């Protein structure tokens, strides 16, 4: 049965309101980025004003945006590749050879996400220091990999569960080993799932701020650390902070919107049976 026109209109309006409420902070950040510091603090807030690039210039001048952006790209892609390389065989084993403890193992992995990051700051900080990896991109890649690993394993596991086990079983009957099964069968069959897992991992890593601020100094900080530079205890900084935030989120927003179709498809994959 098709929903009536009036209910479609009501749901449509509600969806638009929800979307606008969620989008409003980003819109306001974008508007503020084109104001001067004086306009940014105006009461009542200004909606119509001559736009200026002053804050963008201030945010990029001497602030090393390019270095932070390169770090963000290297860390998010590096950690994603590493996480998938580790999670792929793990999810394969968990999905196709379930044992008594499979469910427990999966829950245990996810439970590590429930621990507040600051709780392990000291051991990880000291570990990185001893390994000479403080303020290096390798150190941050390692941390982000570990941080995203439980989610990546879970997502790949749920995608693999959608693939009929008989296909792999037939391959095993023909004498094909686990490595070839993974590379020649599982990899092509779960392509969309791996792509959406990778996209989510890149986004999570890109937005990660706690570790990026706490284990880097002048060389390996990502764009999250770049934004943090613009919050000041004194003086006016709202316009510059907004411009810096726009510059930091713009690449991932563009990336996210370009891959939106695949991301949504991957996230809802297997949701309806």
Partner 1 sequence: MKRYQNIMGGLLGVLCATGAAHAATLTIATVNNPDMLQMQKLSPQFTKETGIKLHWVVLPENTLRQRVTTDIATNSGNFDVVTVGTYEVPIWAKSHWLDPMTGLPASYDVKDIFPSVRKGLSYKGMLYALPFYAESSVTYYRTDLFKKAGITMPKHPTYKQIAEYAAKINDPAKGVYGICLRGLPGWGENMAYIDTLVNTYGGRWFDMKWQPKLDSAAWKNAVTFYVNLEKKYGPPNATSNGFTENLALFSQGKCGMWIDSTVAAGTLWDPKTSKVAHDVGMVDAPVAVTPKGAHWLWAWSLAIPKSTRKEADAKKFLEWATSKQYLALAGKTFGWVQTPPGTRISTYDNPNYLKAAPFAKMVKHAILTADPNDPTLKKVPYVGVQFVAIPQFEGIGTEVGQQIAAVLAGQKSVEAALKQAQSSTARTMKEAGYH
Q: Examine residue 125 and tell whether it contacts partner 1 (CB under 8 A).
A: yes
In the complex, least distance from residue 112 CB atom to partner 1, rounded to whole angstroms: 22
Binding segment for partner 1 (CB under 8 A), chosen from 2-10, 73-81, 158-166, 189-197, is 73-81
Binding segment for partner 1 (CB under 8 A), chosen from 7-15, 220-228, 251-259, 261-269, is 220-228
Sign of the CA dihedral with 38 first, then 40, 43, and 49 last? positive
Q: Examine residue 135 and tell whether it contacts partner 1 (CB under 8 A).
A: yes
**Binding residues for partner 1 restricted to 9-38, rule: CB under 8 A:** 36-38
Through-space distance between the first and last CA atoms of the chain, rounded to whole angstroms: 20
The Cα 143–Cα 78 span in angstroms is 11
In the complex, least distance from residue 71 CB atom to partner 1, rounded to whole angstroms: 8
Q: Which of 46, 93, 138, 182 binds partner 1 (CB under 8 A)?
A: 138
Q: Examine residue 233 and tell whether it contacts partner 1 (CB under 8 A).
A: yes
In the complex, least distance from residue 270 CB atom to partner 1, rounded to whole angstroms: 27
Determine if residue 48 is left, alpha or beta; phi over 0 gives left, psi from -120 to 50 gives alpha, anything else beta: beta
Binding segment for partner 1 (CB under 8 A), chosen from 17-25, 87-95, 107-115, 234-242, is 234-242
In the complex, least distance from residue 87 CB atom to partner 1, rounded to whole angstroms: 15
Cα Rg, the chain, nearest whole Å:
23
List strand residue ranges (DSSP E) for 121-264, in order: none
Total site size for partner 1, rule CB under 8 A:
43
Q: Which runs of consecutive H residues, i.e. helices, occur in 34-136? A: 37-40, 54-60, 65-96, 102-111, 121-130
Q: Which of 87, 155, 230, 263 binds partner 1 (CB under 8 A)?
A: 230
DSSP letter, residue 222: -
Query: Which residue lies nearer to partner 1 by CB, 130 or 166?
Result: 130
Burial annotation 64-87 (CB, 10 A radius, 16+ → b, else e): ebeebbebbebbbbbbbebbbeeb
Taking CA atoms, 229 is separated from 60, 223, 225, in Å, by 12, 10, 7
Q: Examine residue 41 and tell whether it contacts partner 1 (CB under 8 A).
A: yes
Q: Is 269 exposed, middle or buried (0-12, 13-18, 19+ CB in 10 A)?
A: middle
Residue span 153-192 as binding mask against partner 1, x where in contact by CB under 8 A, dash where not: ------------------------------x---------
Q: Examine residue 50 and tell whether it contacts partner 1 (CB under 8 A).
A: no
- What residues line the site for partner 1 (CB under 8 A)? 36-38, 41-43, 62-63, 74, 78, 81, 85, 121-122, 125-126, 129, 133-139, 141, 183, 213-214, 217-221, 228-237
């Amino acid at each position: 049965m098709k929903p009536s026109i009036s209910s479609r209109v009501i749901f449509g309006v509600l969806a638009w309101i929800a979307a606008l409420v969620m989008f409003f902070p980003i819109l306001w950040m974008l508007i503020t980025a084109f104001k001067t510091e004086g306009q940014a603090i105006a009461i009542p807030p200004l909606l119509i004003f001559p736009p200026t690039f002053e804050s963008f210039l201030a945010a990029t001048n001497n602030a090393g945006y390019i270095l932070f952006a390169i770090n963000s790209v290297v860390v998010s892609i590096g950690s994603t590749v590493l996480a998938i390389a580790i999670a792929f065989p793990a999810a394969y084993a968990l999905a196709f050879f379930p044992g008594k403890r499979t469910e427990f193992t999966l829950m245990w992995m996810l439970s590590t996400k429930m621990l507040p990051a600051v709780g392990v700051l000291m051991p990880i900080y000291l570990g990185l220091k001893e390994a000479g990896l403080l303020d290096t991109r390798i150190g941050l890649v390692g941390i982000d990999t570990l941080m995203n690993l439980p989610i990546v394993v879970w997502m790949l596991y749920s995608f693999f569960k959608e693939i009929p086990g008989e296909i792999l079983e037939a391959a095993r009957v023909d004498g094909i080993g686990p490595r070839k099964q993974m590379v020649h069968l599982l990899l092509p069959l779960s392509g969309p799932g791996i792509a959406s897992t990778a996209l989510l991992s890149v986004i999570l890593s890109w937005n990660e701020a706690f570790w990026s601020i706490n284990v880097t100094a002048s060389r390996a900080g990502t764009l999250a650390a770049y934004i943090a530079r613009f919050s000041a205890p004194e003086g006016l900084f709202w316009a510059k902070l907004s411009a810096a935030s726009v510059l930091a989120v713009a690449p991932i927003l563009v990336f996210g919107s370009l891959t939106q179709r695949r991301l949504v498809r991957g996230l809802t994959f297997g949701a309806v049976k």
